[in-house]
Structure 1
Amino acid sequence: MAPPPAVLSSGELGARGHTRPHVVFVPSAGMGHLLQFFRFIGALSAHDVDISVITVFPTVSAAEADHFAALFRDYPSVRRLDFDLLPFDASEFPGGDPFLLRWEALRRSLHLLGPVIAGVTPRVTATVTDVTLVSHVNPIAKDLGIQCHVLYVSSAAMMSLASYFPIYLDNKDAGADVGDVDIPGVRRLKRSWLPQPLLDLNKLFTKQFIENGREMVKTDGVLINTFDALEPVALAALRDGKVVRGFPPVFAVGPHSSLASEATKGAAAEAEGSPMAWLRQQPARSVVYVAFGSRFGNWDAFCANANW
């Protein structure tokens, strides 16, 4: 995996004598999001770059706290920047999904992030944010005069929907329901393929999705956990500006490798006869892997459909 080049700014001198970039990562909640951030950070740490990670308190679960601890143990050169959430009254969204509420709590606290980033030494060159937070992180980065990239943890096909959906809404009849979405250069998506929350514009998820989709096109680049051979059509449509005119540079940076601690656990599991050990005994191209997702099943079902 080759990470994208970063614009050099003031900071510490790297091993080759140039000024070393300093990247601050702003992850979100949910293991599906965090693990991909941590794996990308692990890969980037092998390059001549300073890395800091925003670590939010309180953590949403013991599992997330354990994975943060493992990241900093495996990669001691990575800095942690502690960030305390403001109190959040979840009663505003009765029956809301805990992770959507967590994303909203993060978004409502991010106006405090600017001073944290501005006070880091060496001076920060760029931020890399989760897509769920980009509507708030990108304006902060622009105010500080630094780059902002999105690390997108789903597919390029899903990225095309996320970036085009606000345009689709702007162009449809105001009173009409959400219907099929014809993404330029990618394909026409049947209404039944869409994540169900997108069919209700009053849903918290949908409001976040639309705000982040609008802001994503204003960033300096998008890093997607995919590769060109898997999604050539969707990646080409994004890069050629067919989906959204003037879309930022798109880097396919997948698949992410495991962290050091994950690789160690994986080796131990295989030795004990795990499903991975069974998989390695099967003939090539004889097994089909289907992932329905942990929370948004339709989201992953769409990705499977769109990756034809």
Structure 2
Amino acid sequence: MMKKVELVFVPAPGFSHLVPTIEFAKRLIHQDGRFSITILIMKHLLEPNSITYLPSTAATEPCIKLIDLPQADPPSPDLSKYPETYFCTSIDNYKPHVKRVVAELVDQSLSNSSSVRIAGLVLDFFTVPMVEVGDEFGIPSYLFITASAAFLGLMLYLLARYNDRVDAELEDSGPEWAIPSFVLPKPLFIKEDGYAATMKLVKRFKDVKGIIVNTFMEMESYALNSFLDGETPPVYPVGPMVSLASGAHLSPNGVHYKHIMTWLDDQPASSVVFLSFGSMGSLTLEMKLEYRNGDDHLVLEDEVEKAIRCVMEGNSDVRRRVKEMGESSRKAVIDGGSSFTSLGLLIEDMRTL
């Protein structure tokens, strides 16, 4: 009898990481029922939204098992002045707990009565140093990028440009960084903190067996094709990963969710624009549509309004292209679509180890 295949997911403790990770796990087991998945949760680092969201996953997906890891030792208080390094160290301190769980799963897999084979670890950007755990047990690791292929390309570019130069720092001027469509994260320009922490993570990208990205070929074909350089590990675009039900779990009894959905159902077709500022964004209290990342204004009110009008104008080229891309995203994940096919290749790679 062919053994079932088990994967161990180690996502970062953030809502924007957990949701796409769990949606990817669901899609994988739905496409191939021979998979089972264990997700290791750093519960003590989670925000309330994440804690509320998790129980629904455990209840509805019998092939997905959630394991809460014991609380890890906190980083030294001396690191508190370096927020990026402090966060990464907080996650890295969970490594012994991850190692213990993986060891138990490996022992179970090797037992005579077991019909399950541990096929790999699935890590994300902030947990990629856990590749050392996989190496210790002879288990390959895969990196799941919850962001875009463009973000992955930026990280690989930094690795190529500043390889092994952790003491270097980015120049904040010059034509190389004049990227109108991409705002570089401010922490990257802080050598002692954000830059050093990021480079420590990115250097492990080349140690994984494959890179999974929450995007699809039709959206980022240029970026994805650039990874076919013979040096980057195989890249598998499997997105978009969208949870259509997760909003129901963000408030007690789903009251706010139901109210929002009722209001949306009452609006004319194609009359509402959804603005997502990401987990790092916020709006000014004085409710202006100005995107903030920390203390920095990145996109001002008039720019947001201009972009919305371009999308909402009935015959605009932008509106037409957005509609086409939306249709492409739906086709990408169904049988025969680009992401469905890419996921199939990833599954074949995992099962033939």
Say yes or no: TM over 0.5: yes
- Which of residues 187, 192, 196 is equivalent to 1:197? 187
Quote the offset at 1:92 in angstroms.
2.0
- For residues 150-180 of structure 1, the C-alpha deviation after alignment (integer angstroms, 9 at most, x for no partner) is 11011000001112212212498x7775246
Number of the residue aligned with 1:209: 198
User: Higher helix proportion, which one?
Assistant: 2
Letter in 1 for 2:22: F
Amino acid at match of 1:28: A
Q: CA deviation at 1:289?
A: 5.7
Alpha-carbon offset, residue 207 of structure 1: 2.3
Counterpart selection for 1:111 from 84, 96, 115:
96
Distance 1:249 1:277, change over 3 A: farther
Q: Which runs of 5+ in 2 are unaligned?
A: 110-116, 282-291, 300-353
1:89 Cα deviation from its structure 2 partner: 3.8
Partner of 2:28: 44
Tell me, what secondary structure is at the counterpart of 1:119? Answer: helix
TM-score, normalising length: structure 2: 0.66
Change in CA separation of 1:159 and 1:298 when aligned onto 2, cut-off 3 Å: farther
- CA distances 1:62-103 after superposition (whole Å, capped 9, x unpaired): 322222212111213312233113221452233554x86444
Give how far 1:253 is off: 0.9
Match of 1:139 in 2: 132
| Separation of aligned partners in 1, 2:19 and 2:138 | 28
Which structure has the larger Rg?
Answer: 2
Give me the whole-angstrom Cα distance separating, in 2, the residues matched to 1:73 and 1:259.
Answer: 17
Is the 8 Å Cα contact of residues 292 and 298 (structure 1) preserved in structure 2?
Answer: no
Q: 2:279 corresponds to which letter in structure 1?
A: S
Contact in 1 for aligned 2:75/2:86 (Cα 8 Å): no
Report how far residue 131 of structure 1 moved.
1.1
2:241 aligned with 1:248, yes or no? no
Q: Relative to 1, partners in 2 of residues 1:263 and 1:248: Cα closer, same or farther, differing over 3 Å?
A: farther
Mapped partners of 2:260, 2:223: distance in 1: 35
User: Could you tell me which amino acid in structure 1 is paired with residue 99 of structure 2?
Assistant: G
Q: 1:132-151, CA deviations, whole angstroms, 9 ceiling, x for partnerless residues?
A: 110x2112111211121111
1:165 matched residue in structure 2 = 158
Identify if the C-alpha distance between structure 1 residues 197 and 261 changes in structure 2 by more than 3 Å, giving closer, same or farther: closer
TM-score (norm 1): 0.74
CA separation of 1:129 and 1:272: change in aligned 2, threshold 3 A: same
Measured in 1, the distance between the counterparts of 2:168 and 2:46 equals: 38
The structure-2 alpha-carbon separation of the partners of 1:224 and 1:263, relative to structure 1 and needing over 3 Å to count, comes to farther
Q: Is the 8 A contact 1:52 1:78 kept in 2?
A: yes
2:72 aligned with 1:94: no
Which SS does the other structure have where 2:39 is aligned? strand
**Letter paired with 1:201:** K
1:213: Cα distance to partner? 0.9
**Aligned amino acid, residue 51 of structure 1:** I
C-alpha RMSD over aligned residues: 3.4
The 3-state SS of whatever aligns with 1:128 is strand
CA distance in 1, matches of 2:204, 2:169: 24
What amino acid maps onto 1:76 in structure 2? Answer: P
**How far, CA to CA, are the matches of 2:35 and 2:238 in structure 1?**
17
The equivalent of 1:124 in structure 2 is 118
Q: Which amino acid aligns with 1:117?
A: V
Distance (Å, rounded) in 1 between the aligned partners of 2:234 and 2:92: 25
Q: Look up the match of 1:224.
A: 213
Give the match for residue 53 of structure 2: 67
For 2:244 and 2:215, locate their aligned partners in 1 and report how far apart those are by CA, in whole Å.
18
Equivalent position of 1:34 in the other structure: 18
Q: How far apart, CA to CA, are the structure 1 residues paired with 2:4 and 2:104?
A: 17
Residue 24 of structure 1 pairs with residue 8 of structure 2: yes
Closer, same or farther in 2 for the Cα pair 1:63/1:102, shift >3 Å? farther
C-alpha distance in 1, partners of 2:40/2:231?
29
1:236 paired with 2:225, answer yes
Between 1 and 2, higher relative CO (CA 8 Å, sep ≥ 6) is seen in: 1
What secondary structure is seen at the aligned counterpart in 2 of 1:167?
Answer: helix
Paired AA for residue 212 in structure 1:
L
Any idea what the Cα deviations from partners look like across 1:33-60, whole Å, max 9, x if unmatched?
1111111122123222011110224242
Instruction: Give the stretch that moved more between structures: 219-228 or 77-86.
Output: 77-86
Q: Distance in 2 between matches of 1:191 and 1:158?
A: 13
| Residue identity matched to 2:139 | I
Residue deviations 1:100-124 (CA, integer Å, cap 9, x gap): 6444211122134223112113442
After superposition, the Cα gap between the structure-2 partners of 1:218 and 1:156, relative to the gap in structure 1 and judged at 3 Å, is same
